[in-house]
Amino acid sequence: MAKKKVRPKLRPKDYKSAVKPTWCPGCGDYGVLASLYQAMARLELDPANTLVVSGIGCSSRLPFFVRTYGFQTAHGRVLPVAIGAKIANPELTVIAVGGDGDGFSIGGGHLAHAVRRNPDITYVVMDNEVYGLTKGQTSPTSPLGFQTKSTPYGSSDAPINPMAWVLASGVSFAARGFSGNPKHVTDLIIEGIQHPGFAFVQTMSPCPTFNNTFDLWRDNIEDLPAGYEPNDRMQALTQAFRDDAIPVGLLYKELRPTLESHTRVAHHPLKSDTPDFDVRALLEIYR
Ligand code: SF4
Ligand code: MG
């Protein structure tokens, strides 16, 4: 009898592509990339069945450095492309990546709708509160008074709060980590990928070249309070709005029907034997 082929176990370095990262020395995105390699290895993701999608920006270069399928889309369009790929092939592990400018400014209109549709994808945002690729302008998360070449007298725009935004939009998984603690980020990415639904993982990932927040954030990062249970949206919002610290960890998680469960309908061109969609039956399953 022919022996069953066993896929050799992959190590983190096996997920590295031949393209070396081109980020500045000390960029926080290195920590997030290392976390992603670790997470992929621990989950034993099959590179041939994994897609990493990005938009435009420093962090959006990330798919080049990963040995899976990759797609760098137009600026701000990471989520529609990632969702389209997942609908076309629900078996694919889809990881969307990008920065605060790409995701919350030009791509901001997609965020709330991606969140509420709950596709089973993971969105890892590397938030450095600045536009790095274009040499340091204020981004949607830059603090008030932030001085850059584009705002020489300080930014007068209040920053958005991405965590509160996704929580208010109905996100089913929301976590935050710090790229200075890659082991923790690895755990959060793993939980995000395992979560059946849209997983938002905000990583505080400093840009030492244009907004070096490493020391500031290291001093302000704080674990969620002891005994915190990530099942209360209002409690998660309270954590998201804290201004005395940057709480990290899993803020919120719930199970509800995914977009794919809605789209696995009869007449699917690739899966004609799948059952008709019935939202009431689905809600019963998740109850
Ligand atoms: Fe990283 Fe900033 Fe350099 Fe971009 S400009 S690679 S975000 S350190
Ligand atoms: Mg940025």
Q: What is the mean pLDDT of residues 16-28?
A: 97
- Residue 261: pLDDT band with limits 50, 70, 90: confident
How far apart are alpha carbons 29 and 127 in whole angstroms?
9
Domains, the chain, ordered by start? 12-284 (3.40.50.970)
Express each pLDDT in 237-254 by its tens digit.
Answer: 999 999 999 999 999 999
Ligand nearest to the CA of 58: 1
Express each pLDDT in 101-116 by its tens digit.
Answer: 999 999 999 999 999 9
Residues 6+ apart with CB under 8 A from 234: none
**132 touches ligand 1 (CB under 6 Å):** yes
Residue nearest to atom 6 of ligand 1 (CA): 23
Express each pLDDT in 27-77 by its tens digit.
Answer: 999 999 999 999 999 999 999 999 999 999 999 999 999 999 999 999 999
How far apart are alpha carbons 98 and 79 in whole angstroms?
10
**Between 263 and 167, the higher pLDDT residue:** 167
- Indicate whether 267 pLDDT > 50: no
Residue nearest to atom 3 of ligand 1 (CA): 24
Distance 139 CA to ligand 2 centre (A): 6
Distance 134 CA to ligand 2 centre (A): 10
**24 touches ligand 1 (CB under 6 Å):** yes
pTM comes to 0.92
Type of residue at 37? Y
> What ligand 1 atom has the least distance to the C-alpha of 59?
7
Ligand nearest to the CA of 128: 2
